[in-house]
Structure 1
Amino acid sequence: MTDRVLILGGRGRIGSSVAEDLATHTHAQITITGRSPEIGRDVSLSGGEKIKYLVLDLAEIGKLQEAIANSDLVIHCAGPFHYRDANVLKLCIEQGVNYLDVSDHRSYTNKAVNYREQAAVAGVTAIVNTGIFPGISNSMVRQGVEQFDQAEKIHLSYLVSGSGGAGVTVMRTTFLGLQHPFVAWIDEKWQTIKPYSEREIIEFPCPYGRSGVYWFDMPETFTLPHAFPSIKTVITKFGSIPDFYNHLTWIAAHIFPKQLMQQHRAIEFLSYVSHFMTDITNRFSGIGVAVRSEVTGLKNGATAVYCSTLVHENTAVASGCGTGSIAQLLLEGKLKKPGVWPVEEALSTDLFEYAMQSRKIKIHHHWL
């Protein structure tokens, strides 16, 4: 029988990238959803007849239940996840359907992992935070941690050119991430961090070179310490190309009135203005992504640093590869772990390396 995959929010830039990856690497029948009937008239993804369109609003619970019941795997790409509850996951568990998402905010991750026991009892494998970062980045960390007798520190740096090939939802995610301080695991204590603070210059691979990154609230800031108990510090920093976007984002985080940054209309205005700007600068900056993972720890009695880097020319496509590869492994029965898990706790390094090789994504490693 043909596997049936339901991609919620599948007409967005990330969702459509996931759909195209699955159409390329599996024989699944893919249904993508969106709220507009007009969009459904132009389903022009490369998957052709393998991809169908369904008009669906997540608020239509009955229709959502029916769509999930008719699927073997549900992939939730309908962000921003700052606003989402875990109802889709809950319905998947009730229907016994495996689940993935591209969530990128700790509030949603916290809601999802609360269903770990229910998913385990139901035999449902649910993996959250798939994509590029979080997602592929988490598995790069796992690769690094496994090189040590005792890993102690993780430093993740992300760099995105222009819009990254993603839609306005990603811009919303960025500005929503500036609203509140967050806690990070530093020196074996949870410490409060100001978003977009403590600029640091990081050496990324070509074509990026030395670029600025800033503290940013990501789910892996708190999932990685739980996955790897020996870790004493986890740092997650993010930056943009061209660099003037970093300075504009810093102003939004530190100069704009907090009350303004917590208003929906202000977030929408900033998101659309930013997306308009990146439509112009994308021509010069490209839409690529760079990920750098540094793990510090003890090896053979001495302190060492293991560095992993990845560069991809299209951030949205890279995210599609991250999620699509895990979906493929689930559909093929190569990955099964009932419960709700972040990527680093669900995906073995062997399977991760296999998935990246099949998609010709190269990750470079070296000791510092």
Structure 2
Amino acid sequence: MTQSVLILGGKGRIGSAVAEDILKHTQVNITITGRSPEHSLSLGERVEYLSLDLQETAKLKNAIAKSNLVIHCAGPFHHRDTQVLEICIDQGVNYLDVSDHRSYTQKALNLHEKAVNAGVTAIINTGIFPGISNSLVRQLVDKLDTPQKIHLSYLVSGSGGAGVTVMRTTFLGLQHPFTAWINGEWQVIKPYTDREEIIFPAPYLRSGVYWFDMPETVTLPLSFPTVKTVITKFGSVPDFYNHLTWITAHIFPQWLIQKHETIEFLSHVSHQMTDFTDIFTGIGVAVRAEVTGKKDGKNVVYTSTLLHENTAIAAGMGTGSIAKLLLAGKLKNPGVSPVEAALTTELFNQIVQERNIEINFQC
């Protein structure tokens, strides 16, 4: 029988990109969900639409029961509970998500043993960053005898081809300080601080990035226990967006940036601004992974970079490629795992080749 994939939040930019990648590389049927009773999507013969709010528990359980794989794209994940994941575990259905916040990541990881006992493979934080970025790190870690420090830098042009939800994610990430693993200790970091000028491949070249709260700060120290420092930084193109974001994080009163109305206002205004500047900057993404460690008794630094002209499509590739591996039975890893723990470098290399993703490696 033809397999079925359920994509929650499939009407959004990221969810649509995931669906497109799966349709291109598999023969499965897809059900995409959205909260509106009607849709305006051009659906192919292998795609159907289901009006579904995640609060409709009975309807959600029924949709999951009919699926071979569930992909959770209904962000932002800052305040999401693990209801979808728990239903998948209870019903024995494999699970992926594009979650991008530590609060959700930590709640999901707490369900690891339950997923193991159910024989369910649940892989969290898939996409581009986190996602492909994590696999770039593992690729470098596998070249070392003892990895010691990880430095990840992300750069997005304009909107990145994503929707308002991604804008919300950015502003939600500015609300609170977070902890990062530095020199073997958890240290408190203020978001959008400590600007660094990082050299990315053309066309970006030297660009500014800032501390940003990402789930990799939690998962990478767990996945690679010898690592003593994990740095995750993010920046935008054009650079004046970085300065506007810095002002939001450091000049706005804390009570104001924590209001729902403020987040909504800033998200929609930012999206309108990037819709205009996208014409000049494009909507691409650059990821730079740097791992420092020991190799044959010597200190070495390995670096890899990845570029894609459309951030949303790159995220779709990251999640869609893992979905294909799961559906084909090539990736069986019962439990709840981040990408770097679930996906081997060998499988990642297969993904890269199949999708013509160019990675530049330096040592």
Q: Which amino acid aligns with 1:15?
A: G
**Following TM superposition, by how much is the alpha carbon of 1:302 offset from its aligned partner in structure 2, in angstroms?**
1.2
1:81-136 deviations in whole A, cap 9, x for unaligned? Answer: 01200000000001100000000000000110111001000000000000000000
1:216 and 2:212 correspond: yes
Q: Which amino acid aligns with 1:83?
A: H
CA contact (8 A) 1:308 1:364 kept: yes
1:267 and 2:245 correspond: no
1:203 and 2:210 correspond: no
Q: CA separation in 2, counterparts of 1:28 and 1:250?
A: 44
1:189-223 deviations in whole A, cap 9, x for unaligned? Answer: 00000000000000000110000000000000110
Q: CA separation in 1, counterparts of 2:68 and 2:298?
A: 48
Partner of 2:19: 19
SS at match of 1:158: strand
Q: Which amino acid aligns with 2:362?
A: H
**Following TM superposition, by how much is the alpha carbon of 1:364 offset from its aligned partner in structure 2, in angstroms?**
1.1
**Following TM superposition, by how much is the alpha carbon of 1:28 offset from its aligned partner in structure 2, in angstroms?**
0.6
**Following TM superposition, by how much is the alpha carbon of 1:58 offset from its aligned partner in structure 2, in angstroms?**
0.3
**Following TM superposition, by how much is the alpha carbon of 1:253 offset from its aligned partner in structure 2, in angstroms?**
0.4
Q: Number of aligned pairs?
A: 363
Partner of 2:129: 133
1:102 and 2:98 correspond: yes
CA contact (8 A) 1:100 1:130 kept: yes
1:6 and 2:2 correspond: no
State the superposition RMSD in angstroms.
0.6
Q: CA separation in 1, counterparts of 2:118 and 2:219?
A: 23
**Following TM superposition, by how much is the alpha carbon of 1:356 offset from its aligned partner in structure 2, in angstroms?**
1.5
Partner of 2:81: 85
Q: CA separation in 1, counterparts of 2:158 and 2:321?
A: 25
TM-score (ref. length: structure 1): 0.98
Taking only the aligned residue pairs, the percentage that are identical comes to: 71
1:220-277 deviations in whole A, cap 9, x for unaligned? Answer: 0110000000001000000000000000000000000000010000000000000000
SS at match of 1:308: strand
1:50 and 2:53 correspond: no
1:289 and 2:311 correspond: no
Q: CA separation in 2, counterparts of 1:147 and 1:232?
A: 17
Q: CA separation in 1, counterparts of 2:305 and 2:196?
A: 17
**Following TM superposition, by how much is the alpha carbon of 1:43 offset from its aligned partner in structure 2, in angstroms?**
2.2
Q: Which amino acid aligns with 2:3?
A: D
Q: Which amino acid aligns with 2:10?
A: G
SS at match of 2:45: helix
SS at match of 1:7: strand
Q: CA separation in 1, counterparts of 2:218 and 2:59?
A: 34
For 1:106-255, list aligned pairs within 5 A. Answer: 106-255=102-251
**Following TM superposition, by how much is the alpha carbon of 1:9 offset from its aligned partner in structure 2, in angstroms?**
0.1
